[in-house]
Amino acid sequence: MKIRTMLNIGVASTFFVVVAAATLMAFRGNAVAIGGRELPVLGSVPDFALTEANGSALKKADLIGKVWIASFIFTRCAEQCPAMMRHEVELQAQLPVRDDLRLVSFSVDPDWDTPKVLTGYANMFKADRQRWFFTTGDKRQIFSLAIDGFKLSTQEADTAREMPILHSTKLVLVDRRGLIRGYYDSTEAGALRQLVRDTVRLLAERS
């Protein structure tokens, strides 16, 4: 009788330990899920075929398998774009150097922004040309890409003004599948810090 009682106690203790361990594991798993920042899918980048500042073609397919950050700029922009570029250069320094991470800037003034002009602009801001693409091409395609693809406001303005084109200053995070995962205000330091964290998180994902 005494032996049976001891066996029952042993079984009960083992059961308690197993249940406690499972509960602890579940709690830890939930804590990670709750503590992590979810990155919803906000859209999909449509196909495009443009010209990079080095003269080579750049298509959406060339970026599949990479995490990338998109921006829309133009070199004749007097205020917004220089500020965006300075913030992106700071962002470039904070991001990890990896073959599967790129920055991509699309010119919304392609008639003026030839590959040569974009190359000079990139060099002026000390953009890392191995990691940062500057593209130009058909204006209708670029405007459609900005408005319909990335859902960013872009429009022609009075050509006599210093800002002949109005465009969004947001940065857009795109995952390895070409899906949009976040929008970030390029003028806010907190948003840029969050962009770095979210980029690192996407790099850890497997497509």
> What are the sequence ranges of the domains in the chain?
1-36, 43-204
Copy the structure tokens of residue 115. 């590959």
pLDDT digits (tens, 9 = 90+) for 19-45: 344 333 333 333 222 235 789 999 999
CB–CB of 103/130 below 8 Å?
no
Q: How confident is the model at residue 165 (pLDDT cuts 50, 70, 90)?
A: confident
Chain mean position to CA 86:
17
- Residue 119 CA to residue 101 CA, distance in Å, equals 20
Identify the three-state secondary structure at position 135: strand
Instruction: Extract the tokens encoding 39.
Output: 């990155």
Tens digit of each residue's pLDDT (9 = 90 or more) over 50-102: 999 999 999 999 999 999 999 999 999 888 899 999 999 999 999 999 999 99
Answering whether pTM is above 0.85, one says no
pLDDT reading at 103 higher than 90: yes
Q: pLDDT (tens digit, 9 = 90+) per residue, 107-150?
A: 999 999 999 999 999 999 999 999 999 999 999 999 999 999 99
| pLDDT for position 79 | 80
Per-residue pLDDT at 185: 94
CATH superfamily entry for domain 43-204: Glutaredoxin (3.40.30.10)
Comparing 2-16, 106-120, 137-151, 172-186, the range with the smallest average pLDDT is 2-16
Q: What pLDDT, on a 0 to 100 scale, did the predictor assign at position 157?
A: 59
